[in-house]
Structure 1
Amino acid sequence: MQGEMITFESQSGTCQGYLALPESGKGPSVIVLQEWWGLVDHIKEICDRFAAAGFIALAPDLYHGESTSSPDDAGRMMMAINIERTANDLRGAVQYLLSHAGNTSKSVGTVGFCMGGQLSLFAACSNEQVGACVNFYGIHPDVTPDIASLEAPVLGFFAENDSSVPPSAAKQLEADLKAAGKKVSIHIYPNADHAFFNNTRPEVYHQAYAEDAWDKTLTFFRQELSQ
């Protein structure tokens, strides 16, 4: 890992997170939001990839020290997450990045995967300082973003064979955002499964789609966070 664990202030106390900086120490800032497994090495590596691409990237530890490789435990931890504390932690992460000496953007980007995808949209709807939102197959039954409050454009990536977030759900999200007058671009990859971006899970990983989504994400953040 190239980054380091840091502690930042939250209205719920303090929160730890993994922070990765570009070689120059300066760049636009993005928040990377974990899957239901927790703040595992895969999420930290995504932060490192953002840093290599010129971004300051912070992944807050929303489980506060817990992580797992067990689907049963992951489901339990996802459903047990305290939404109010999570909202405060996300707000704290936004403020930490905006006040970071190396930050060059007036707003921050959010990107998340699975549970984190829904939290990415939730954060964007809850914080006007979020200037760009990326949602990879986001899901959490207890997290309901306030779309009316959303100011950031949304980029979404979903999978045709995803039983957790089927194409119908992705299309409904797109319709809801457009009906509310929001800027949105949704991509549904054919013959892809949930978590197709996760290269630590060979049973679902799709390299070509993951690379395409990554390129689109970088382009999106570079465009929206430079404004």
Structure 2
Amino acid sequence: MGSSPPQNVTFPGNGATAHGYLALPPQGAGPGLIVVQEWWGLTTHMVSMVDRFAAEGFVALAPDLYGGATTHDREEAARMLAALPADRAARDLHGAVDYLLGRPEVVGDAVGAVGFCMGGGLALVLAAQEADRIAAVVPFYGLPRIPGFAYGGLTAHVLGHYGEEDRSIDQQRVDEAAMLIGEATDVQPEIHFYPAGHAFMNDENLNGTYDPLQARIAWQRTLSFLWGHLG
């Protein structure tokens, strides 16, 4: 198990002190954006995603849901995920929303949430829990791991990115989730499928399914979507 990249902020979360990695945009202020980690933890890839979003104008924050632990081992990642109760993760993420909205650099009274794999599902749960405090949510190859999750309370616009060759999440599950979101909200989610496997955005991806072309397409769609609903 490796060590986490530098955590540079703390905030109240889950009745204790939560940690995270924050990056500010070059202009010093912008919309707030929560970046939710994959099951590997707050890795250098997640830090680089935060930096990329900040470079595009967002005040971006990745909460460290594992308390400093990262891994590149699949079995270890599965154990770390299993040891992370969804309610505790949600409380840490709630604290992150409070923290971002309280920062003077954050423009507006709602933030966005982007999540990858495990974090994609958590981002959707967060958006449902936070209602109009989350204006836009972008799950990458993830859905909530809570059986029967109904998306009630979700008011955010939804943009989803999924791989056609992703063996961990099939299109039927994604289509069912999109239908549930449409039934629970006034907004139809925008869902894209890519000719790629799982974690196609992750250039440190140990599965070998990183796809630079599809990653670039998804990245541009994400930026346009976030600016359309947060800018």
Fold agreement, TM-score > 0.5: yes
Q: Which position in structure 2 is the counterpart of 1:158?
A: 162
Counterpart pick for 2:115 among 99, 112, 116: 112
Q: Which position in structure 2 is the counterpart of 1:99?
A: 102
| Residues 116 and 140 in structure 2, CA contact (< 8 A), matched pair in contact too | yes
Q: Which position in structure 2 is the counterpart of 1:147?
A: 151
Q: If the length of structure 1 is used for normalisation, what is the TM-score?
A: 0.93
| Residues 153 and 182 in structure 1, CA contact (< 8 A), matched pair in contact too | no
Matches of 1:89 and 1:165 in 2, distance apart? 25
Q: Could you tell me how far 1:146 is from its partner in structure 2?
A: 4.2
Q: Could you tell me how far 1:179 is from its partner in structure 2?
A: 2.4
Matches of 2:150 and 2:183 in 1, distance apart? 14
Q: Following superposition of structure 1 onto structure 2, how do residues 177-216 of structure 1 map, counting pairs within 5 Å?
A: 177-183=181-187, 184-190=189-195, 192-201=196-205, 203-216=208-221
SS of residue paired to 1:105: strand
Q: 1:36 to 1:11 in 2, by over 3 A?
A: closer
- Bigger drift between 208-217 and 6-15 goes to 6-15
Q: 1:144 to 1:62 in 2, by over 3 A?
A: farther
| Amino-acid identity (%) | 42
SS of residue paired to 1:217: helix
Q: Following superposition of structure 1 onto structure 2, how do residues 19-98 of structure 1 map, counting pairs within 5 Å?
A: 19-98=22-101
Q: If the length of structure 2 is used for normalisation, what is the TM-score?
A: 0.92
Q: Which position in structure 1 is the counterpart of 2:3?
A: none
Q: Could you tell me how far 1:85 is from its partner in structure 2?
A: 1.7
SS of residue paired to 1:19: strand
Q: Could you tell me how far 1:105 is from its partner in structure 2?
A: 2.2
SS of residue paired to 1:147: coil
Deviations 1:128-180 (A, max 9, x none): 21111000011453476441211101100001111111111111111111222
Instruction: Could you tell me which runs of 5 or more consecutive residues in structure 2 were left unpaired when the two chains were aligned.
Output: 1-5
